[in-house]
Amino acid sequence: MSHKELNSKEDFAAAMETKDRYVFIYAYEGAIPPQATENAKRFADTTDAYSIDVGANPMPKEKLGITKVPTALVFRDGKEVARVDQMGPESMKGIEEILKAL
């Protein structure tokens, strides 16, 4: 599984209705790096992975309070449980631990 692009408020609302799974949102500008795609596949059993190109669609950036990209957000049952601003390999380890815990 790779990231599903969130293109509208309706897409985001539907993602937030996910129950009993994590919702991972990767906010980026430009392109999704291969490592992010690999992680989406790796955690597909516990997580629905989404992406938002905030350069092309800036509205979610304000709604979600994204100040730096890339940013990773993790939700569970519609509530934010983790956030990593300006995400890199080291900071992603904490997110990976959360996604493994289901």
Q: Can you tell me the distance from the alpha carbon of 21 to that of 47, in angstroms, rounded to the nearest whole number?
A: 6
* pLDDT value of position 102: 58
Fold of 4-100: Glutaredoxin (3.40.30)
* pLDDT value of position 76: 95
Looking from the CA of 78 toward its CB, the CA atoms found within 13 Å total: 5
pLDDT tens across the length of the chain (102 residues): 578 999 888 999 999 999 999 999 999 998 888 888 888 898 999 999 999 999 888 888 888 889 889 999 999 999 999 999 888 777 778 888 888 875
The Cβ of residue 22 has, within 10 Å, a number of other Cβ atoms equal to 21
CB-CB contact of 48 with 25 (8 Å): no
What's the predicted TM-score (pTM) here? 0.89
* pLDDT value of position 2: 78
